[in-house]
Amino acid sequence: MLIALGVTGGIGAYKAVEVARGLQKRGHDVVAVMTHSATRFVGAVTFEAITRRHVITDQFEMGMNADIEHIALASTIDLLLIAPATANIIAKLAHGIADDFLSTLYTATRAPLLLAPAMNTQMLEHEAVRANLNTLAARGARFVDPGEGYLACGWIGKGRLAEPDEIVAAAEAILRPEGPLRGQRVLVTAGPTYEDVDPVRFIGNRSSGRMGYAIAAEAARRGAEVTLVTGPTTIEAPAVRQIVKVRSAAQMHEAVMSRAGDMQVVVMAAAVADYSPAARAEQKVAKDGDTLTLLLRKTPDILGELGQRRVAKGGGPLLVGFAAETEDVVAHAMAKRERKHADLIVANDVSRSDAGFDVDSNAVTIVGAEGADALPLQSKSRVASEILTRVERLLTARAVKV
């Protein structure tokens, strides 16, 4: 989701950098909006480097008015978070004064407002400040308490800005209603594997990693603690809890099997090589003769082993596999689901040029215990959302059963 992070001129402004990072780690997009006085505490360039977005510091900056940015931004953000919020911005918001970008953004947006006030204790206790906070609270604003609590016992805290973790958690609570994936540990594999033939050659495949990366990003957005095990790709990694880079099927096998015991969900979106050179040549293989024979050996079937392990133990993570097919897509996927003891198989018709490998869209059929569900061609992030909605349903059903 898109969050406008307003930063105003208080000593706690440096902590807002950590807030931006924390929000990004949870899969959110952050655009920083700094007041003039905030820039005296932290440089805009710091936020720019973290958010990888232009930082708004001035209402009348050149280029800012071409698309009336405060209106454009106001209608696209999911949350306006101000941390730290000084007595000055609190007063301006309470009274509808719009004399800089941040205060104007507030009056122009319908997104929820979350404030993390920070100021000296005397100021915090002042009648005027308390009245302004009450006005904003009555209007629906939410707060992250500084010190010891506004709601429970009045403004008796020290006024120090709340810790970044608390602020991120408060933002999450507003943005994300409790969903079944929240706090669940999810492992996603993505990308191809490269099986080395010699020091310069390998056997690979056309997987870009996009589908797996979209699932990892969407799971993080739904509050899951995501571990992404990825083969070699060139696309940008999503903000998730942990990224484990691997190259070969054997490395992916090790990375997944050693972690799967701790997971509630494993999604095998990687295009794992089924065969690998029986031996990797130490030196570059020289040209010799008209034909060359490579001896390949079957790689361990990671999803299959996870399924076996689950059957043997009578429990384990929910398993989602992918099936790249070129014919009889649904029948093959159904057989694969049974064979590998997976909960869901996402079947991909890779013979289509507008879906599957190395494109942004995908048309899949999701096969589960109840049958097959063919989804229309759509973006990989929407497909990821459809898959995870079904995973959430299964998690809920499991919880009910227990």
Per-residue x/- track, 215-254, ligand CTP (CB under 6 A): ----------------------------------x-----
212 part of the interface to ligand CTP, by CB under 6 A: no
Nearer Cβ to ligand CTP, position 4 or 268? 268
The tokens for 317 are: 């993570």
> Which of 165, 274 has the CB closer to ligand CTP?
274
Q: With binding defined as CB under 6 A, does residue 274 bind ligand CTP?
A: yes
Residues 6+ apart with CB under 8 A from 313: none
From 66, 138, 151, 153, the catalytic residue: 153
Looking only at the bridges linking them, the beta strands covering 142-143 and 113-117 are parallel
Distance between CA 253 and CA 306 in Å, rounded?
10
Count of residues touching ligand CTP (by CB under 6 A)? 14
Interface pattern 349-388 for ligand CTP (x via CB under 6 A): ----------------------------------------
DSSP secondary structure letter of residue 271: B
In the list 119, 263, 323, 366, the residue contacting ligand CTP (rule: CB under 6 A) is 323
Counting contacts by CB under 6 A, is residue 106 touching ligand CTP? Answer: no
Which positions from 295 through 314 interact with ligand CTP, judged by CB under 6 A?
Answer: 299, 301-303
Burial class (CB in 10 A: 0-12, 13-18, 19+), 122: exposed
Estimate the crossing angle of helix 15-25 against helix 44-51, to 10 degrees.
10
Examine residue 30 and tell whether it contacts ligand CTP (CB under 6 A).
Answer: no
Q: Phi, psi at residue 229, to the nearest 5°? A: -100, 115
Site for ligand CTP contains 272 (CB under 6 A): yes
Using an 8 Å Cβ cutoff, are 232 and 278 in contact? no
Helices (H) and strands (E) in the chain, counts: 14, 19
Q: Can you tell me the distance from the alpha carbon of 216 to that of 8, in angstroms, rounded to the nearest whole number?
A: 33
State the nearest-atom distance from the C-beta of 270 to ligand CTP, in Å.
5
Is 28 among the residues known to form the active site?
A: no
Instruction: Return the active site residues.
Output: 153
User: What residues line the site for ligand CTP (CB under 6 A)?
Assistant: 249, 268, 270, 272, 274, 299, 301-303, 321-324, 336
